[in-house]
Amino acid sequence: MVVLSVLGQGGVAPDNPFAGKPLFSDPGSKAATAANAARVSGDEADADTFGKIAAVPTAVWLVPEKHPIGKVGPYVSDIVSQAENMGQMPVFVVYGIPNRDCGNFSGGGLTPEEYPEWVSEIASSLAGKSSVVILEPDALALAHECANVDERLGEINASVDTLVPSGATIYIDAGHSNWGPAADMADLLNRAGVAKVRGFSTNVSNYNTTDREIEYASTISGLTGGAHFVIDTGRNGNGSNGEWCNPSGRALGTTPTPAQSGSAQDADLWIKPPGESDGTCNGGPAAGEWWDKGARELATGAGW
């Protein structure tokens, strides 16, 4: 069954930021565009499958290659206005940190001089509105590999200080359970300013089972003063086979829903949009581009 919104239900703590707040489904998403294209071409099977994916609330990614300085603010404002008009709350992913992904499939990002300006423009457009921000997937988890730990910590801290006054609910990304010890990630989060925000996110763009991520995230929470967390469940229905880039045999996971009270977990979310490629690997297109074959496989794996 597809859950089209996150609702405050029995057992959800009243201070959970997702309680009673339906999440935004972007009518202009790549899944929605693919569904429309399939319908026009007469492919009702794909239109139905992609349409079901599009109907599930999924995070909106902000990347400087698509939404540069001067354009990201109006784009965020438009999404916020659409969501407000529909009585929904948008989830944004801020993904533009310098030396992003160490120059791999999603490499690039902004220069150290541009990045603060870009984040400030996003923050100004979120001010006073209900929203969630997932801050810089993989940035901390890759910091040692990218050999820029101190710079990363400074950039995340500065972004936190810029975004917090907007009133957005912020989660700093914490990689995933297969990446490294929870204690090491907790140390990075503490140094990055997790105490100033709601908490952290895990499993973004990855495939690990929810149970595995809860164990990992709960350990981190205990080492970060009880920081709350959200888990990306968009593509983890069959768990991970050890690959991160367009692995075969995966499935859509649990649709967005708030966690029960008594836990540091706030919600399961679809953060990485299912159907969008991880990169030019295993037959996929460039990172972030829609991939019909990948979307079909995820839906089939979940019994959709």
Query: Which amino acids are annotated as binding site for substrate, given as ranges?
Result: 61, 176, 179, 206, 244, 272, 276
Binding site, residues? 61, 176, 179, 206, 244, 272, 276
- The catalytically annotated residue of 26, 46, 101, 266 is 101
232 is catalytic: no
Q: Give CA 256 to chain center in angstroms.
A: 12
Contact 11, 261 (CB under 8 A): yes
The angle at the Cα of 73, spanning 16 to 288, to the nearest 5 degrees, equals 75
- Measured between alpha carbons, how far is 279 from 276 in angstroms, rounded to an integer? 9
Q: Report d(CA 59, CA 269) in Å as an integer.
A: 8
Name the catalytic one among 26, 266, 268, 278. Answer: 278
Task: Quote the tokens at residue 81.
Answer: 């206005």
138 is catalytic: yes
Bridging pattern class, strands 169-173 and 199-202: parallel
Catalytically annotated residue among 46, 138, 173, 268: 138
Indicate if 173 belongs to the active site.
no
Q: Report, as residue numbers or ranges, the catalytic residues.
A: 101, 138, 278
